Chain A
């Protein structure tokens, strides 16, 4: 015994250049890259930067949209990069790249109140960790049938959505308030340098989106990396792939003293102290860091075949059950009846370039990058009221808040999946080689004649005509001279819509002074993306 003690090397402090520190650098890099991407998704900063690249690298987005549409859109092939990386190195994405994983790890580390003795117990594998594979199965089965719901829980989609609609406005608000305070003290903080160039962005229903983040991040206090271990469908997909990984953590049973120190900081709860659960391992390297006997290594050769469980803890029964659950959930979602061509919400106005509704729902991953990019704040995450269960948090236009700017195609620029197809200004306006098919119409404007000031109240107004951006104007006026109730002669320019010219941009509704329930409003009927929702058979024009 004493002989062995003498053989022990003297205590050496941990080296600075070690794998876990390299990992932290990588995590910080990708987290900052993500923040920059969200920040740069704005009209004055979006100089061709690949702001949606993290979404396009997401293999679950690639696989699920390939299942639902049969094709791989634009840059989605980038997903193969992560998939290939996983097939060689294991789930490195989860602990080296994924910004959502970084957020969870950081919060879990910051609010870790466990005593050291309890830490390893919190990182023991639990049965419930199979659940993410069930979620993945349900989502993929539904995607195959044409209902794309991965965006609800895919970490990258979830994080983009939350940061665009809940975190960014909080940041803008903080910059704005700081600006106000500083301005009172005579200092001018140009908040437009930090925050977007609209006075204040609002996002309908962002409370619920923010609450999801709150709950999921808060769960780290109960179970470390709760989201990653239990819910993450992308982690599940990578877990399934990682069983083929060349490299993995290997335990040298001759050196190991079964001290369980490796479990103290194990991120994936992958049992490095026993048979490694390969599909759970995030390759965080904490176990190697913590092993006092140098018994753990990350290697391709000399792996101990006995000390590994390659496949996920997801038996055939569970898989069949999850698949059936997906199959039964599908008609419930699809037959909800609020978003069919016969019965759809008058508020379901999709951004320009959107493909037809059925195809749209096969593509939209609810990442809300379009909503983040929109310079007028008109794009909003849909609630159940507009788009039903299936379309929750997909983009809709709310013309009370903003309007669709004529020469702007930013939402189509940043859409990673082609739910909003990439269009040009020329195509949007129906000019040049698109003059045959005409402009992209989002809907048609209507008047509420009982609320319109010149029509119902004998008061001049017609802001709507002034701002109508098409030429010739789709809002024109009948000018009448009337004697009002007080006996004054007033000239009323009574506005009316020329539906053939209206593109449904909604600026008339945005600028209408009857602010609560607008006297002029746009509904989606007549949108050019759909023949089923068309209004006019022919568009009249003076030349025809």
Chain B
């Protein structure tokens, strides 16, 4: 060792004392912190506070699926399953005419309940193009629910294909239902939950626009009657598609299965088909007023399958070449296609 490398003893150097107690405390601290960390990191997965993930699967996110209730109400004897009201001066008369044989709106909802009304607001289109539900009927229904049935809250919700804010604005639906006293729910990223639908083939577990369904007592579907390029017709059951989230466009690969799955997912209190602007061709988007046939029918009912079958035959005028999803829905117990004898027509 050269002179230069010798450690310098500074005159003010004081040896730091390390007592036995200090030594012990430090060792204990190291053992305590280290041991605690070792427990958290190493204890088997079942032990309390264990953070160990031996397979890499424990750390995967867990979605606790929600389940939807059955929103149907019991039907009195002798009441038809489907009622068709034709004529009438306006949507309100027609809707009252159609509901009357079923027991009126008060048969379906009770005072103080929360009701979800699900229109079809899929596209950024004006109402005369027939691609979306008619704002007039929705406003009549909202008022009827609030005034006649004295429900606590009427929610209106849909998850459109185009920008939600624009679709609700330009279809005229937001304005109509908010003026009537309803509350519009638009989808945002926090509004979805994974839904478990037992028995469904394609959507046994699938994200659904759940916020408007939270604590809801009754659900009413209000759908336009539309031509559909792939499944031939979009009516009451196809309307529930608008509650799905996720990459739902894959369902076109098996469209009839998904529509029948939807009838299983949602057991609505009531389904209302609006036959005032029927989209006869170029559906489901339409886009030209000449694609639309004006009508004067409102169809209400508690059997969604019979409802769609009747409307397919009489409103879209397609005969009895029913889309396959009707038979599939019948197999899944959502209703019966054979509507003969179960439909009552009333005329003003």
A residues in contact (CB < 8 Å) with B: 42-44, 176, 179-180, 183, 188-192, 195, 197-200, 375-376, 403, 405-408, 453, 459-463, 465-473, 477, 493, 507, 511-513, 515
Contacts and interface: CB of A to CB of B under 8 A. Distances in A.
Contacts of B59: none
Contact of B124 (A42, A200, A408): A408
24 contacts: A42-B165, A176-B190, A179-B188, A191-B190, A192-B165, A192-B188, A195-B188, A199-B188, A407-B170, A408-B166, A453-B253, A460-B230, A460-B254, A466-B230, A466-B285, A470-B287, A471-B285, A471-B287, A472-B288, A473-B285, A493-B230, A511-B161, A513-B252, A513-B253
Nearest to B169: A44
Interface in B206-250: 211, 228-230, 247, 249-250
A375 B252 contact: no
Interface string B248-286: 011011110000000000000000000000000010111
B167 to A, nearest CB: 9
Contacts of A176: 188-190
Interface of B: 123-126, 161-166, 169-170, 186-190, 211, 228-230, 247, 249-250, 252-255, 282, 284-288, 291
B344 to A, nearest CB: 34
Interface of chain A, helix or strand or loop or mixed? loop
Contacts of A460: 230, 252-255
Contact of B285 (A191, A199, A405, A469): A469
Nearest to B282: A471
Given A180-B190, A472-B282, 13 more contacts: A43-B169, A189-B190, A197-B164, A199-B187, A200-B189, A407-B166, A408-B124, A459-B253, A460-B255, A461-B253, A462-B229, A473-B285, A493-B230
Nearest to A179: B190
A44 B165 CA distance: 6
Nearest to A477: B229
Interface of chain B, helix or strand or loop or mixed? loop
A43 B188 contact: no
A463 B249 contact: yes
Contacts of A513: 247, 249-250, 252-253
Nearest to B211: A188
A198 B285 CA distance: 21
Contacts of A197: 163-165, 186, 188
* 10 nearest A-B residue pairs (beta carbon): A471-B287, A471-B288, A375-B163, A44-B165, A199-B189, A197-B165, A179-B190, A463-B249, A463-B252, A471-B282
B157 to A, nearest CB: 12
Nearest to B161: A467
B188 A469 contact: no
Nearest to B287: A471
A391 to B, nearest CB: 26
A515 B188 CA distance: 22
Contacts of A473: 229, 282, 285
Contacts of B291: 471
A474 to B, nearest CB: 10
A470 B190 CA distance: 32
B162 A376 contact: yes
Contacts of B170: 407
B141 to A, nearest CB: 24
A469 B123 contact: yes
A405 B253 CA distance: 25
A88 B232 CA distance: 71
| Residue of B228, B252, B253 contacting most chain A CB atoms (<10 Å) | B252
Contacts of B188: 176, 179, 190-192, 195, 197, 199
B165 A511 contact: no
A466 B252 contact: yes
Nearest to A374: B163
A117 to B, nearest CB: 33
Contacts of A470: 287
Contacts of A179: 188-190
B252 A462 contact: yes
| Residue of B123, B164, B188, B250 contacting most chain A CB atoms (<10 Å) | B188
Nearest to B249: A463
A468 B285 contact: yes
| Residue of B123, B163, B287, B291 contacting most chain A CB atoms (<10 Å) | B163
A512 B249 CA distance: 8
B28 to A, nearest CB: 38
Given A192-B188, A471-B288, A473-B282, A198 B229 contact: no
A375 B285 contact: no
B186 A192 contact: yes
B286 A471 contact: yes
A44 B162 CA distance: 14
A375 B165 CA distance: 8
A183 B190 contact: yes
Nearest to A45: B165
Contacts of B165: 42-44, 192, 197, 375
A324 B252 CA distance: 61
B249 A511 contact: yes
A438 to B, nearest CB: 15
A513 B169 CA distance: 28
Contacts of B228: 466
A417 B174 CA distance: 33
B230 A407 contact: no
A179 B188 CA distance: 10
Nearest to A515: B247
B85 to A, nearest CB: 30
A407 B124 contact: yes
Given A176-B189, A466-B252, A513-B250, A405 B287 contact: no
Contacts of A467: 161, 285
